[in-house]
């Protein structure tokens, strides 16, 4: 029984109990509908309260049901039954009342929230819009602009904020059941007013704001659901029946869209990524004190992330000067968090953080994360020392982004304790963490890594050892394809523009200029010795670097950055340099359409992602999507490269791969996984 009714004197309780988050599955919908009808028909009952068991009130529609045809009763009918109940219905919110859950509250005749509860309409983050009256009833209570804040950002607000906006009527203490019984009494004695949201006047029109949102949304890709949401909100200033009908129509349009499929996919993929077998097989080691080797951007970022999540941190640098610099960077991050209200001054003052140059300080750490210079010799030397200094039960992690974790692990003399923790910069902001599992990494070390990641608020993805793990492996392949297109005739500006229009936040050359090209150049020089001499190599970026044009920080890179300019402008000298390279190699430039640019890049990413799965570096294709969306800015509304390929049609992608492979097998010779999926008629994810 996912929905039960209880009678407490004249109060009828409707209790939803559908763990883990009380999602509105078909059984819950029909249970609530039936319960409202039964209690409303009961002459002994004069107030009904809707509440939920467990950690949260209803967190929304059951997202798993979205890809199947809708089954009765639909959510709007449940909301209509609540609104239409002659017996007043009070909704009691705890945890997070999201989407359809909050819509059940909006349909109720009064809303009581427990302190600490949150409410929100996050549907657009899943590529849909509120579909059970959220865009019509919330504006009647709080206005179009306040509702748009919820719907467009998708972010929940606190019970206190919801009270201020008129979206809840009361914030109370206690358990949901206590609050429900007290609220029923308050309705009875008249101290808690009840009203039918649908009987309130339509929302005040907001034509200027609506025009503003439309203009802003039209300028960026991936906003289909948001645009429909704005139209639905606009309808809230008309009669309720019309508004509800418009909302439903727009909801159904969104439900059938590729954006919905992509966004729901990535929602579940992110949760799947952390379900690694090691967590079932082994107990994580307890971690309280984290050691960080290196106080540069990465080390300091990792230290800050750990401190912000409640770990004690010991940072060790080569010398006192480095330690002082590292300490200052960490403190800057912490001060910024206090300023932004994300960290209380009290917590800040009580953090246990030390920075010094004595390696022996790492001896009492439960986990040590090495974030030193990206050089195998340096790392091996450090792990050699770490193997001796660290406690026998400590976990030893390297933040390398490319190097062989097995080789680093061997240097420690205790490879079972070693794991890769590949953070992304800035480490206290970026959600992704690649957990690189070496050949000898012990299962409890992997379990520890995933447990720490969770506490850090990261989305952790299991990766095997392989050049660049999952993300950088794909990034390298993608950049190589872009470079080849550049040499063959597309300008860097064409490539960036096409990819940004497709949804990437930056193209590869904007990204290189932004990050500073010297870093990539140093990596390329390091890798030159091991490069396959028969493989095509494009040296244009090296030529740009040779001139000292490293990007934004030097005023020019692939782009020029004139004083005060917000973004780079094309540089004729870079175009001339590219022309020169083409001439030297005897390449006659050809035209690339935006479509071909995007297609070659997507094919490269999908193929390399599939190769990572073939090689056992990625556990599953959906993990590739999680990495690319959370670490590399791949558009969430496309679901990641693997899902984008499924949506585009995998057989077509395979045909393109075979065609492109004729002149570039390195990038395009099809991965086994793609061939197998097409042969079996199944998608990649």
CB of 125 to ligand 3HC, least distance (A): 7
Tokens coding 3: 């929905």
β-sheet with 110-114: strand ranges across: 3-8, 11-16, 47-52, 89-93, 110-114, 170-172
Please say which residue, 21 or 602, places its beta carbon nearer to ligand 3HC.
Answer: 21
- Asked if residue 292 lies in contact with residue 456, where contact means CB atoms within 8 angstroms, the answer is no
**Of the candidates 75, 182, 187, 230, which one interacts with ligand 3HC according to CB under 6 A?**
75
By CB under 6 A, the residues from 208 to 237 that bind ligand 3HC are none
CA dihedral 351, 429, 323, 319 (to 10 degrees): 140
Please say which residue, 103 or 608, places its beta carbon nearer to ligand 3HC.
Answer: 103
- Rule CB under 6 A: say whether 455 interacts with ligand 3HC: no
- Asked if residue 266 lies in contact with residue 374, where contact means CB atoms within 8 angstroms, the answer is no
CB of 432 to ligand 3HC, least distance (A): 17
Tokens coding 496: 């960036």
A 10 A CB-CB count for 296 gives 16
Buried b or exposed e, range 183-216, using 16+ CB within 10 angstroms: bbebbeeeebebebbbeeebbeebeeebeebbee
**Of the candidates 31, 127, 130, 492, which one interacts with ligand 3HC according to CB under 6 A?**
130
- Rule CB under 6 A: say whether 304 interacts with ligand 3HC: no
Pick the piece of the chain touching ligand 3HC (CB under 6 A) from 123-131, 192-200, 482-490, 649-657: 123-131
- Rule CB under 6 A: say whether 155 interacts with ligand 3HC: no
**Of the candidates 28, 132, 362, 390, which one interacts with ligand 3HC according to CB under 6 A?**
132
Binding mask 250-289 for ligand 3HC (x = CB under 6 A): ------------------x--x------------------
- Rule CB under 6 A: say whether 117 interacts with ligand 3HC: no
Q: How far is CA 58 from CA 21, 32, 40, 125, 324, in A?
A: 6, 12, 21, 17, 49
Please say which residue, 19 or 548, places its beta carbon nearer to ligand 3HC.
Answer: 19
Q: Which residues contact 53 (CB under 8 A, 6 or more apart)?
A: 15, 16, 17, 22, 176
- Rule CB under 6 A: say whether 243 interacts with ligand 3HC: no
Gyration radius (Cα) of the chain, Å: 28
- Rule CB under 6 A: say whether 247 interacts with ligand 3HC: no
Pick the piece of the chain touching ligand 3HC (CB under 6 A) from 3-11, 95-103, 292-300, 407-415: 95-103
CB of 621 to ligand 3HC, least distance (A): 18
Pick the piece of the chain touching ligand 3HC (CB under 6 A) from 18-26, 236-244, 337-345, 570-578: 18-26
Please say which residue, 20 or 69, places its beta carbon nearer to ligand 3HC.
Answer: 20
Pick the piece of the chain touching ligand 3HC (CB under 6 A) from 125-133, 419-427, 544-552, 601-609: 125-133
- Rule CB under 6 A: say whether 59 interacts with ligand 3HC: yes
**Of the candidates 15, 35, 50, 61, which one interacts with ligand 3HC according to CB under 6 A?**
61
State the Cα–Cα distance between residues 225 and 38, nearest whole angstrom: 36
CA atoms within 13 A on the CB side of 423: 30
Tokens coding 317: 């640098």
- Asked if residue 569 lies in contact with residue 562, where contact means CB atoms within 8 angstroms, the answer is yes
Please say which residue, 132 or 446, places its beta carbon nearer to ligand 3HC.
Answer: 132
Please say which residue, 77 or 288, places its beta carbon nearer to ligand 3HC.
Answer: 77
**Of the candidates 12, 31, 88, 100, which one interacts with ligand 3HC according to CB under 6 A?**
100
**Of the candidates 79, 92, 93, 103, which one interacts with ligand 3HC according to CB under 6 A?**
103
Residue 590: helix, strand or coil by DSSP? Answer: coil
- Rule CB under 6 A: say whether 623 interacts with ligand 3HC: no
**Of the candidates 13, 50, 62, 610, which one interacts with ligand 3HC according to CB under 6 A?**
62
List the catalytic residues: 103, 123
- Asked if residue 503 lies in contact with residue 635, where contact means CB atoms within 8 angstroms, the answer is yes
Tokens coding 622: 């959906």
**Of the candidates 1, 20, 219, 681, which one interacts with ligand 3HC according to CB under 6 A?**
20
- Rule CB under 6 A: say whether 312 interacts with ligand 3HC: no
CB of 76 to ligand 3HC, least distance (A): 8
Of 305, 235, 672, 231, residue with least CA distance to 454? 305
- Rule CB under 6 A: say whether 157 interacts with ligand 3HC: no
- Asked if residue 97 lies in contact with residue 182, where contact means CB atoms within 8 angstroms, the answer is no
Buried b or exposed e, range 33-66, using 16+ CB within 10 angstroms: bbbbeebbeeeebebbbbbbbeebbbbbbbbeeb
- Asked if residue 513 lies in contact with residue 552, where contact means CB atoms within 8 angstroms, the answer is yes
CB of 618 to ligand 3HC, least distance (A): 19
Tokens coding 121: 């309409």
Pick the piece of the chain touching ligand 3HC (CB under 6 A) from 58-66, 440-448, 459-467, 668-676: 58-66
State the Cα–Cα distance between residues 102 and 60, nearest whole angstrom: 7
CB of 317 to ligand 3HC, least distance (A): 35
| Count of residues that bind ligand 3HC according to CB under 6 A | 24
DSSP letters for 120-157: E--GGGGT----SSHHHHHHHHH-HHHHHHHHHH---E
Per the listing, tokens 């190769």 go with 611
- Rule CB under 6 A: say whether 508 interacts with ligand 3HC: no
Pick the piece of the chain touching ligand 3HC (CB under 6 A) from 97-105, 309-317, 329-337, 501-509: 97-105
CB of 394 to ligand 3HC, least distance (A): 29
Which residues are near ligand 3HC by CB under 6 A? 20-21, 23, 59-64, 75, 96, 98-100, 103, 122-123, 126, 130-132, 134, 268, 271
């Amino acid at each position: 029984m996912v929905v039960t009714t209880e009678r407490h004197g004249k109060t009828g309780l409707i209790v939803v109990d559908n763990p883990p988050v009380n999602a509105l599955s078909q059984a819950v919908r029909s249970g609530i509908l039936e319960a409202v009808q039964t209690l409303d028909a009961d002459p002994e009952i004069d107030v009904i309260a809707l509440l939920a068991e467990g950690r949260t009130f209803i967190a929304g529609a059951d997202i798993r049901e979205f890809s199947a045809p809708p089954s009765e009763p639909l959510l709007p009918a449940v909301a209509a039954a609540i609104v239409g109940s002659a017996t007043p219905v009070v909704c009691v919110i705890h945890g997070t009342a999201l989407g359809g859950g909050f819509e059940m509250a909006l349909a109720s005749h009064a809303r009581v929230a427990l302190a600490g509860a949150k409410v929100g309409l996050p549907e657009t983050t899943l590529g849909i819009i509120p579909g059970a009256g959220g865009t019509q009833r919330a504006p009647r209570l709080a206005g179009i602009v306040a509702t748009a804040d919820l719907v467009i950002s998708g972010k929940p607000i606190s019970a206190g904020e919801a009270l201020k906006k008129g979206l809840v009527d009361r914030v109370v203490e206690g358990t949901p059941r206590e609050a429900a019984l007290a609220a029923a009494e308050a309705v009875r004695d008249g101290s808690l007013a009840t009203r039918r949201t649908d009987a309130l006047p339509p929302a005040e029109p907001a034509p200027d704001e609506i025009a503003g949102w439309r203009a802003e949304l039209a300028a960026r890709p991936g906003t289909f659901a948001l645009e429909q949401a704005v139209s639905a909100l606009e309808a809230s200033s008309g009669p309720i029946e019309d508004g509800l009908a418009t909302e439903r129509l727009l909801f159904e349009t969104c439900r059938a869209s590729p954006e919905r499929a992509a966004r729901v996919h990535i929602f579940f993929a992110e949760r799947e990524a952390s379900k690694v077998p090691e967590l079932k097989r082994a107990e994580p080691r307890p971690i309280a004190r984290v050691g960080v080797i290196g106080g540069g951007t990465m080390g300091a970022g990792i230290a800050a992330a750990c401190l912000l999540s409640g770990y004690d941190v010991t940072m060790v640098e080569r010398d006192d000067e480095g330690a002082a610099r590292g300490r200052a960077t960490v403190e800057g991050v912490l001060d910024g968090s206090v300023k932004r209200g994300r960290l209380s001054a009290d917590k800040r003052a009580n953090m246990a953080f030390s920075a010094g140059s004595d390696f022996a300080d790492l001896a009492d750490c439960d986990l040590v994360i090495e974030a030193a210079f990206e050089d195998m010799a340096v790392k091996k030397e450090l792990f050699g020392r770490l193997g001796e200094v660290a406690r026998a039960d400590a976990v030893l992690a390297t933040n390398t982004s490319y190097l062989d974790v097995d080789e680093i692990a061997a240097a420690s003399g205790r490879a079972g304790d070693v794991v890769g923790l590949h953070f992304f910069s800035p480490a206290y902001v970026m959600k992704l963490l690649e957990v690189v599992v070496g050949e000898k990494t012990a299962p409890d070390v992997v379990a520890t890594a995933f447990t720490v990641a969770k506490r850090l608020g990261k989305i952790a993805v299991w990766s095997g050892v392989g050049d660049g793990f999952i993300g950088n492996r794909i990034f390298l392949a993608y950049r190589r394809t872009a470079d080849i297109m550049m040499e063959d005739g597309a300008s860097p500006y064409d490539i960036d523009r096409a990819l940004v229009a497709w949804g990437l936040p930056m193209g590869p050359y904007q990204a290189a200029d932004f990050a500073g090209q010297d870093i990539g150049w140093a990596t390329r020089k390091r890798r030159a010795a091991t490069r396959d001499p028969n493989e095509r190599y494009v040296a244009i970026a090296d030529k740009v670097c040779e001139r000292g044009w490293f990007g934004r920080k030097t005023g020019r890179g692939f782009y020029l950055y004139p004083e005060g300019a917000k973004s780079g402008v094309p540089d004729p000298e870079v175009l001339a340099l590219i022309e020169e390279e083409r001439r030297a190699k005897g390449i006659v430039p050809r035209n690339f359409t935006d479509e071909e640019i995007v297609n070659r890049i997507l094919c490269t990413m999908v193929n390399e992602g599939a190769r990572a799965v073939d090689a056992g570096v990625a556990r599953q294709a959906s993990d590739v999507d999680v990495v690319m969306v959370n670490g590399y800015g791949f558009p969430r509304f496309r679901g990641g490269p693997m899902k984008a390929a499924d949506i585009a049609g995998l057989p077509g992608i395979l045909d393109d791969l075979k065609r492109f492979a004729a002149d570039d097998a390195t990038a395009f010779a099809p991965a086994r996984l793609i061939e197998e999926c097409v042969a079996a008629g199944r998608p990649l994810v």
